[in-house]
Amino acid sequence: MKAALAVLLSALLCVQNAYAMPAKEYIVYEDTAELQENTEEVQEDTQQGTENTENSDTAAEESRETVSEDTGGTEGEAADTQTAGPEVSAPSAILMEASTGEVIFEKDADTARPPASVTKIMTMLLIFDALADGKIKLEDQVTTSEFAASMGGSQVFLEPGETQTVDTMLKCISVASANDACVAMAEYISGNEEEFVKQMNERAKGLGMENTHFVNCNGLDVDGHVTTARDIALMSREMITKYPQIHDYCMIWMENITHTTKKGTTEFGLTNTNKLVRQYEYATGLKTGSTGLAKFCVSATAKKNDIEMIAVIMAAEDSKARFKDATTLLNYGFGKCQVYKDEKQEKLKDIKVKGGVKETVPCEYAGSFSYLDTSGANMAGITKKLKIKKSLDAPVKKGDKAGSLVYELDGKEIGKVDVIVSQNVKKAGFLDYLKKVVSRFRT
C-alpha cells in the first residue's frame, strides 16, 4: 500500500512540475498569400507590446445652389498649417481615409470654429447609439414639445404635440437639417436638451475630439459652440464605420413626410442640403452646415473601389466653394491612395496551457487589419507572419495576449494584429493534479 502511494505521489509531482514549467517559446508561421503552417521556431523572453496598426476620376459639377442652414459658434485661433497636396480655398480642411483613420491632407485642421449644422453628425451618432443599445426603436413615436417646435433656422415645421417616428425624425435631420427634429429627439432620448448635450460632449471626449465643445444639439448660433476640421473627421469616421446605415438616410435626395396635427394632414417635402449627393459620382454623405458665423461647412464622405474618404471643409466663402473644395480633396485622395484589407484572417488553433484546469485555450484576433498606402507600392507583396506562443502559464485571463499576426511589405513591418485568449483558465490546484493522475492511471 505504501509503495503504491509513493508511486502515486511521485507521479503527481512529475505531472505538477510538467504543467508548471514556464511558457516562453513562440512558434512563427510565415506565408506570402495564405499562412502555411510550417517550420521556424524561435525562443523569446520578451513580450511584444500591444499595437494594432490599422494601418481617379470624375470631378463633380459645382453646386449652383446656395444652401442656408441655421447654426453657429465662435471662431478660435491656431497656426495656419497645411500639408502638401491640392489647393483648397477654405481656411480649414482635412482629408481622412475612413478604414485606417489616416490623414491624407490637412490645412489648419485644429483651429476651433463654429461647425453649423455639421453638429448634427454627433446628434445622429447618439441617436444610433440609443438604437443600438435598445433604448429606442425606429418605429417609436416621438412627440414634439413647445420648445422643440420653437427652433428657428432650417426646420420641418413640427408643431407642438405632433408625433413622428424616430425613423422620420432621422430623415428630417439628415436630409433637411431640421433643428426642431434634433431637439425633439434630444428630449426623447435624454429628457431635455441640456442632458443630451452633456452626452454629446462625453461622446466627443471619448473619440479624442480635443478641441470640441457643444452647447446645443443642432448648431444654432451660440457662444462657445465650436469644433475643428479634425474633430469633425473623427466623429464622421465613427458614424460611417460603426453605423453604415446612416448612408440610407443621408443619401436620400428628396422625400415627403406627413404632418398630422389638429389642423389636419399635410405633406412636407424634404430636399437634401448636400448637393454632392446628386453631383458627385462616389458620394455617400454626410452633412452640411452654414450660418453667418460659421460660413459654409461640409463633412463629405465618398467611396470608390472599396476606399472610403472623409473630406471636411470649414468656413468656406459660399456653398459652391465648399462643394468644390470637398470634391478636390476627394479626387485627390482616390487618386493617391490604395488600401489593403485582410478579409480572410486564418483560423487559429488552441494554445496549450501549463498549470491550468484546462489543457488548452482558444484564441482569436483582437481585430481586423487594414493598411493605407500613398506611395504606389505593390500591395501583392504584403506577407503575413503569425507569431504565437507555444503555451501559456495559468492562470490565463480572457483578453491576454498570446501572440500577433505581423504584416510586412518589402521586408518592412507595416502593422500587426494581436492574438488574444478568448476564455479564462484558472490555475490548477492539488486536487486538479490528483484528478489528472488518477485519470492517467485509469487509462
Give CA separation, 71 vs 126, 220, 230, 306, in Å: 19, 4, 19, 33
Confirm or deny that 287 is annotated as ligand binding.
yes
Catalytic residue among 63, 92, 99, 117: 117
C-alpha–C-alpha distance, residues 133 and 189, integer Å: 12
Q: In 3-state terms, what secondary structure has residue 332?
A: helix
CB 333: neighbour CB atoms within 10 A? Answer: 25
**117 counts as catalytic:** yes
Helix (H) or strand (E) holding 125: helix 120-132
- C-alpha cell read off for 208: 479624442
Catalytic residue among 92, 99, 107, 120: 120
- C-alpha cell read off for 200: 454629446
DSSP assignment letter at 138: T
Catalytic residue among 63, 99, 154, 177: 177
286: which strand partners? 300
C-alpha–C-alpha distance, residues 47 and 401, integer Å: 9
Q: Hey, what amino acid is at 243? A: Y
C-alpha–C-alpha distance, residues 406 and 419, integer Å: 10
- C-alpha cell read off for 238: 465613427
Residues belonging to the binding site for substrate are: 287
Residues belonging to the binding site are: 287
What are the catalytic residues? 117, 120, 177
